[in-house]
Amino acid sequence: MKQYILGRVVRSIISIFAVVSIACALIYGLIPHEKIFNNDPTWKKIASDPVASITYKYQKWEDLGYVDFQNAGDICKLAGDDVDYNKCVRGTTDAFELVKAEWEAKGYTVMYKDDGTAYVKQGIDFYEEQPSLCKLTETGANYDECVKTRNSDLEKAVSSYIEDGYVLNYYNTGTLYAVRENTVPEIIFGYISNLVKIDTPWTVNDASNPNLERKIYPGLDHNNIPALKCSGCESQYLLYLDGKFPFIHQNIIKLNFGISYPTYSGLGTMDVIGQGQGDPVKNEVHYDTGLTAKSAVNLHSCKYKSSSTMSSDDAKKFATNYADCDTNKKDPSMIGTSYLFGILGIIVSYGIGLPAGILMAQKKDKWQDKLGIVYINVMIATPSLAFIFFMKMLGNKIGLPDKFPSLGFGSIKSYILPVIILGLLSTAGLMIWMRRYMVDQANSDYVKFARAKGLSQKEIFNRHILKNAIIPIVNGIPASIVLCISGAVITESVFAIPGMGKMLPDAINAANNNMIITLTFIFTSLSVISLLLGDLLMTLVDPRIQLSSKGDSR
């Protein structure tokens, strides 16, 4: 049994990684690089500035893993002692500098092409490139030296980059930058290898705080509840307890899906969907310096802040460098919201679907059965979007809000329509199958024998048929929870519910690559885990199924 579950878990993890890799390959391989800037407000502002736009573009691409990008400054700094940093950054030869100064003195502006060649342009009829500039000069500069675009120091510094496959380019100010495009396998490998982050006491690397202690120790949190703390880790609390589900929380292993961009720019994607939403909630907080204040700070979430960025305000509140904390928000996170709606939807759909299916089977061919079949047909024939809007319209008539945020999380009215819609959408399938299984079982030999035993129809249904018919249904419960969560994409979008379901189309529209991969990962994991859970649940209700690896049962 243990062996079987272990095997399943390993295979599940492998398949999750396979799906993430495929998603990664599709998204990074097929979506054009430029598309990601379409929804970026910062990009719109700086797109016309030739220097800033290039830097911004390549830096974003580097953050997302598309390219490796180096500025002349970095290239020259890393080149070593035998390269003169200043000369290296300047890039051009002394001879050309003289010529350039001469032209500028005459009132011309010297510009540079992508290959580093300088040119001067005035109006429509004056245009000269570097060779002619060097020829026309009156300073007597050496022509051969003057036409060179790099000096020997820069030449030395970039040689290793050229070997590594970087392409050298120039801003129109003449400064050099180097870019190397990553191949899709490299991007995927980089992504996967950074996926799991384990927090250890050696994680923090802060030059401004060389005396940082490195240890893991049991301690008390601000509420005097025992917790596992750490010095030198990124998070202050490795393990802690609080009143929120699932009550024990850990910060040791984190999944890192990269940053969200262009929407929620700069935040990690997991933070975007995992952190609370809405207005901050202020509580009485006791800082470890003894200071008590009303604040929304979530002391369990505090992360290391380097000594150089600690403000005096931070020092007043925090005894250690762990001062970078999240705030408590009023509303649940996107994940929490989706789960909430998923679970409520499931309760509604099973609460309606199962009894209705059972009733239909019991009253087979009677009016109850026929009515149910009409309902199922209507539900299957109606496109879900049409059904959602129809229900929304009905709801509006009786005064329910047609958008979730209009009354928000606080009001029960906000939930009614989306939950009922989510629930009803999956009732039809549930009813069909429940009825089908019940009818199948009702025709089986053991039911005939149970009748011959003298049991009444009701006793046979309750004691024998139901237990057999429910087995395949039980197997599907976890899967339908997943379906409800991920299937809420349309419902959440229509009602503008701030959940994961709405996040997916939003992320696709905004070309938020990492967010799409994150959601793919979450939905995939849920599906795979739910299959496993379904099979495990089945062993509880069906005595014939045992998860031993004995024989060739698989």
Partner 1 sequence: MEDKKVVLSARDIEVKFQVRSRVLTAIRNISLDIYDGETVAIVGESGSGKSVFTKTFTGMLETNGTISNGSVMFEGQDLTKLKTDKDWEGIRGAKISTVFQDPMTSLNPVRTIGYQIAEVIMKHQGKSAQEAKEMAIKLMEEVGIPNAASRYDEYPFQYSGGMRQRIVIAIALACRPKILICDEPTTALDVTIQAQILEFIKSLLKEYGFTTVYITHDLCVVANVADKVAVMYAGQIVEYGTVEEVFYEPKHPYTWALLSSLPQLGTKGEDLYAITGTPPSLYDQIIGDAFAPRNPYAMQIDFEEEPPFFQITPTHKAKTWLLDPRAPKVEPPKAIQNLHERLSAMVSKGGGYHG
- Give contact residues for partner 1 (rule: CB under 8 A): 444-446, 448-459, 463-464, 467-468, 471, 541-544
The pair phi, psi for residue 176, each rounded to 5°, is -95, 150
Smallest separation, CB 495 to partner 1 (Å): 41
Nearer to partner 1 by Cβ, of 25 and 545: the residue is 545
- 436 in Cβ contact with 449 (< 8 Å): no
Straight-line distance from the first to the last Cα atom of the chain, in angstroms, rounded to the nearest whole number: 12
Cα–Cα separations (whole angstroms), residue 497 to 65, 145, 366, 419: 31, 66, 41, 11
Nearer to partner 1 by Cβ, of 181 and 440: the residue is 440
Q: Tell me the torsion sign for CA atoms 414, 420, 422, 423.
A: positive
Apex 147 CA angle, 146 and 153, nearest 5? 75
The pair phi, psi for residue 527, each rounded to 5°, is -65, -50
Nearer to partner 1 by Cβ, of 106 and 458: the residue is 458
Smallest separation, CB 363 to partner 1 (Å): 12
Q: Of 364, 547, 350, which Cα lies nearest the Cα of 429?
A: 350
Smallest separation, CB 429 to partner 1 (Å): 23
Q: What is the DSSP letter of 147?
A: T
> CA 169 to CA 113: how far, in whole Å?
9
| Partners of residue 253 on adjacent β-strands | 198
Nearer to partner 1 by Cβ, of 299 and 538: the residue is 538
Smallest separation, CB 446 to partner 1 (Å): 5
Nearer to partner 1 by Cβ, of 174 and 534: the residue is 534
Smallest separation, CB 366 to partner 1 (Å): 11
Q: Where are the alpha helices (DSSP H) in 443-553?
A: 445-452, 457-459, 466-486, 489-495, 500-509, 513-541
> CA 536 to CA 466: how far, in whole Å?
20
3-state secondary structure (DSSP) of residue 94:
helix
Smallest separation, CB 258 to partner 1 (Å): 48
> CA 111 to CA 173: how far, in whole Å?
6
Smallest separation, CB 546 to partner 1 (Å): 10
Nearer to partner 1 by Cβ, of 198 and 452: the residue is 452
Smallest separation, CB 369 to partner 1 (Å): 13
Encode 324-362: b = buried (16+ Cβ within 10 Å), e = exposed.
bbbebbebbbbbbbbbbbbebbbebbbebbbebbbbbbb
Smallest separation, CB 463 to partner 1 (Å): 7
Nearer to partner 1 by Cβ, of 436 and 451: the residue is 451
Residue with tokens 């025992």: 226
Nearer to partner 1 by Cβ, of 152 and 443: the residue is 443
> CA 234 to CA 94: how far, in whole Å?
48
Nearer to partner 1 by Cβ, of 333 and 468: the residue is 468
The residues, any chain, with a CB within 8 Å of residue 297's CB and separated by 6 or more, are 285, 325, 326, 327, 328
Nearer to partner 1 by Cβ, of 106 and 550: the residue is 550
Smallest separation, CB 464 to partner 1 (Å): 5
